[in-house]
Amino acid sequence: MRRHPGLFLAVIVLVAIAAAVFVYPKYLGAKVLPWRLGLDLVGGTHLVYQIDLSQVPASDQSSVVAGLRDVIEKRVNLFGVSSPQVYIAQSGNNAQLDVDLAGIKNVTDAINQIGQTPLLDFAEVQQNGSSTQFVPTNLTGQYVTGAQLTFDQTTGAPQVQITFNSQGSDIFSRMTAANIGKPLAIFLDGNLIEEPTVQQQITGGTALITGNFTVSSAKTLVERFNAGALPAPIKLVNQQTVSATLGNNSLKEVIFAGLLGTLLVILFMLFYYRLFGFFAACALIIYVALTLGIFKLLGITMDLAGIAGFVLTIGMAVDANILTFERIKEEQKRGLPRISAVEEGFRRAWPSIRDSNTSTIITAIILYYFTSSFVQGFALTLLIGVLVSLFSAITTTRLFLRVYEHMGEKKTANRTA
């Protein structure tokens, strides 16, 4: 890098230009990978569900709530909602599930999809004269790991294959052994959807449901199984809607604030550090393009909190340059030639830059792993932004200065010759 700083700088600049094209929504980025924007920027619906844990033992509540979150997330993804966020708030026996549906247009369909089939269970069937009795069992949807559509090799009729986990496999094996020749009832949301007859004891954790399925109805059943059955009932207790207009206005305001903040920082650097400030401004522009490109490439959902974390790192990126430039000034006052002062300034400024950014990285990691919702978005963008800013301040700015100094050396050599 020291021998060919211009080459390395050219590579970084080209990557930054590609990132800028990818980021800007009117060009390639919109076709390849659209931005994932949060509820507060594009509008949508925020749903709050109360989780009924009254029938769940205290020792199992944590795992049940975690499983519930996974199930709801699968359902929302099946519905095709853009950038859904599902998170849990639990305190003792009280648990709440929050769902953010950004950009959703048909709220009613989304609510129906999320709340559909709140409980999947299997029941034994007993005949009592002319009436049929369903006897509940302890086999529920929490033991189902997946389902898929298959076809009978002889008739070609569609059928549904269900797979249970190890515990569910044992329960199902005992149940089928006790009900050979009898039907088993499958209930979704308390509604009987299938009543297949047990032909033999089923071991191995895999079962086939056959019947008068069409391909469409079999696919629907597969989707319901794969979406999972909720291990605890949920009830919608609150619904808040953010209009698309309000979200769009927030997005415009955030973009304006980010651009204004970046411009003011650039003007300050140009005014105070002159030529060094110009290089820092160029490095800052490259930093913004690279960081936004990473955000979009990784599919990070950008909401107001996340953008706030990113804007914060813009100032931190320049802060590292300020520490470096001040050290360079001190080295020049000591009488070092400018090119030596630049290298010594970077070397002496690095410990301070490293320590300050390390503390921020640790804080961001703690916030990400021990919080939820929008705080995690803030922590994630802050973490990525700090890491990229370290590269920008130490590598990109140094390359700009090295290229400038090498050009100065060549001019001096030409004059001497």
Per-residue pLDDT, averaged over 59-77, amounts to 71
Name the residue with tokens 């844990």.
53
Question: What local confidence, expressed as pLDDT, does residue 117 receive?
Answer: 46
Question: What local confidence, expressed as pLDDT, does residue 38 receive?
Answer: 76
Are 82 and 20 in contact by the 8 Å Cβ rule? The answer is no
Residue 389 has pLDDT above 90, yes or no: no
Q: Residue 126 corresponds to which tokens in the numbers above? A: 């007993």
Residue 60 has pLDDT above 70, yes or no: no
Residue 34 has pLDDT above 60, yes or no: yes
Per-residue pLDDT, averaged over 242-257, amounts to 75
Strand, helix or coil for residue 256: helix
Question: What local confidence, expressed as pLDDT, does residue 372 receive?
Answer: 66
Query: Confidence band (pLDDT; 50, 70, 90) for 362?
Result: very high
Residue 29 has pLDDT above 60, yes or no: no
Residue 80 has pLDDT above 60, yes or no: no
**What is the percent of the chain where pLDDT is above 90?**
4
CATH topology of domain 44-117+234-241: Alpha-Beta Plaits (3.30.70)
Are 187 and 197 in contact by the 8 Å Cβ rule? The answer is no
Cβ neighbours of 301 (radius 10 Å): 23
- β-pair type (131-140, 120-128): antiparallel
What sign does the dihedral 175-179-185-190 (CA atoms) show? negative
State pLDDT tens for residues 281-304.
888 899 999 999 898 888 887 888
Q: Which residue has the higher pLDDT, 58 or 163?
A: 163
Asked if the domains 5-33+243-416 and 120-227 are classified in one and the same CATH topology, the answer is: no
Question: What local confidence, expressed as pLDDT, does residue 411 receive?
Answer: 58
Question: What local confidence, expressed as pLDDT, does residue 223 receive?
Answer: 66
Q: What are the φ and ψ backbone dihedral angles of 210, each rounded to 5 degrees? A: -115, 160
Q: Give the chain's mean pLDDT.
A: 79
Question: What local confidence, expressed as pLDDT, does residue 361 receive?
Answer: 92
Query: Confidence band (pLDDT; 50, 70, 90) for 79?
Result: low
Question: What local confidence, expressed as pLDDT, does residue 334 receive?
Answer: 84
Residue 261 has pLDDT above 60, yes or no: yes
State pLDDT tens for residues 86-124.
877 776 667 888 888 776 666 776 676 666 544 677 888
Are 222 and 17 in contact by the 8 Å Cβ rule? The answer is no
CATH topology of domain 5-33+243-416: Multidrug efflux transporter AcrB transmembrane fold (1.20.1640)
Domain boundaries, the chain: 5-33+243-416, 44-117+234-241, 120-227
In this prediction the pTM is: 0.64
Going from the C-alpha of 220 to that of each of 106, 193, 217, 333, the distances in angstroms are 20, 11, 5, 76
Query: Confidence band (pLDDT; 50, 70, 90) for 84?
Result: low
Residues whose CB is less than 8 angstroms from the CB of residue 24 and which lie 6 or more positions away in sequence, other chains included: none
What is the C-alpha separation between 205 and 222, in angstroms, rounded?
A: 16
What is the CATH code of the structural domain delimited by 120-227?
A: 3.30.1360.200
Per-residue pLDDT, averaged over 389-399, amounts to 83
Question: What local confidence, expressed as pLDDT, does residue 44 receive?
Answer: 76
Query: Confidence band (pLDDT; 50, 70, 90) for 67?
Result: low
**Cα dihedral: 290, 293, 294, 299 (round 10):** 170
State pLDDT tens for residues 187-231.
766 677 778 888 888 888 888 887 777 888 887 777 666 655 555
User: Which of 122-136, 175-189, 275-289 reaches the highest mean pLDDT?
Assistant: 275-289
